[in-house]
Structure 1
C-alpha cells in the first residue's frame, strides 16, 4: 500500500482536485436512478403508462418502447441534476479555492496525496447557520484508493483544525443515496440532526433528500 500524505492544497493541485470531486459525484448517478425507481410514484406512473399503451395498442412492443424511453429520460434528468450541482460547486468555491478556503484563517482545504497524485480532498469553512461550527465540505476519495482509511484521516484532520481554533463542532450535508458516506460519518461520531428535500423540482418529486450531520467536539484537556 502506497504511503498517503494529507497536506494543504496548492495551486498546482487544481485540475486533479476538480477531477476527484467530479468523478466522485458522478458515481452517484446510478444509485440515484435506482432510488427514483424505488419510489411508489415513479412505479405507479410507469405501470400506468405501460398498461394504458398495452390496452390501447394490443401490442407489447409499444409499451415496452415507451417505458424504455421514459427510463432513459429519467436517467438524463438525474444526470442533469448532478451536472448542475457539480457546476455550481465549481463556480461557488472549487474554482476559487485560495480565496475561499486558504486566505481566511478559519477555513482550509486539504488533499490526500499518494505517489505524487491527489487521491482525496476535504475542506471546511464557518457554517452559515451557526458560526460556532465549521462545515465540512468537498469530501471525496478516488475509488481506487478507498478502504485505506483516507476518508477517516481527512475527517480527523478537519476535526483537529476546528478544535485548535476553538469551534464547538462540525456539521456537514450528504444525500440519501450516499450510504457509504453516511456510514463513515456515523462511525466518526457524527449524529444525524435533520433530513430535507433537495431544492430541485425532480428531487422533490422523487423524495431525493439531503441529510445534515453534526459532531460536537471534545476539547483536549491540558
Structure 2
C-alpha cells in the first residue's frame, strides 16, 4: 500500500491493488467516463462484479489494477496486463488510466502510472507500453511528462477513423 501527500494531489491518498470490495466503485469509475463508454459497451460493459471477475479470469495473461482511494472512496484507477500474447515477453501494457473528474489535474494519473512503473521494475519487466488516442492531449502530455516516448502512430486505430499513438517506457 502506498500513501502519499502532495500539494498537487489531494491529501492522504492511498494507492492499493484492486480488491473484491472495491470492484463496484472501480467499475462505476470506468462507466462514468464519457470518453470510454462506447469502448466499454463494445467490450460488454457495464459489468456486474461477478461478470468482471469472470472476464478477468478469461484473459490469456496476467492482469492487475490499482485504485487510488481517498476516505475509502475510489477516485482513480489504472489497469495493466502482461504483453506475452503480443510476443513482448518482458513488457506490460497499461490498458486504462481513469481519474474521477473532480480529482483531475492534480498529479493523480501521473502517480498511478509511476506505481505501475515501480511494480514492473520489481518484477523484472523491461518495458511498459500504452496506446493513447492522438486526440487525448492531456493523456499524451501526462505520459510524456513521466518519460514515455512515442514509437508508432496507429492509423485509423479507433472506429471513428481516429489515430492512436503507441508509447513506451524503457525500464533498463
TM-score exceeds 0.5: yes
1:5 aligned residue (14, 30, 46): 14
Match of 1:174 in 2: 132
Compute the TM-score of the two structures, normalised by the length of structure 2. 0.79
Q: Deviations over 1:123-168 (max 9, x none)?
A: 2111232122100122111111112221111111100111111111
Count how many residue pairs are aligned between Structure 1 and Structure 2: 157
Does structure 2 retain, via aligned residues, the 8 Å contact 1:133–1:167?
yes
> Is 1:20 matched with 2:24?
no
Q: Secondary structure at the match of 2:22?
A: helix
Match of 2:71 in 1: 115
Q: Which has the higher contact order (CA 8 A, sep 6+)?
A: 1
Compute the TM-score of the two structures, normalised by the length of structure 1. 0.63
Give the whole-Å Cα distance in 2 for the aligned partners of 1:104 and 1:142: 29
Does structure 2 retain, via aligned residues, the 8 Å contact 1:106–1:165?
no
Match of 1:214 in 2: 168
Higher strand share: 2
1:96 aligned residue (52, 57, 63): 52
Gaps of 5+ in 1: 29-81
Task: Name which one, 1 or 2, has greater alpha-carbon Rg.
Answer: 1
Question: Cα distance, 1:23 vs. partner?
Answer: 2.3
Question: Cα distance, 1:193 vs. partner?
Answer: 1.0
Backbone CA RMSD of aligned residues: 2.7
Question: Cα distance, 1:212 vs. partner?
Answer: 0.8
> Is 1:194 matched with 2:152?
yes
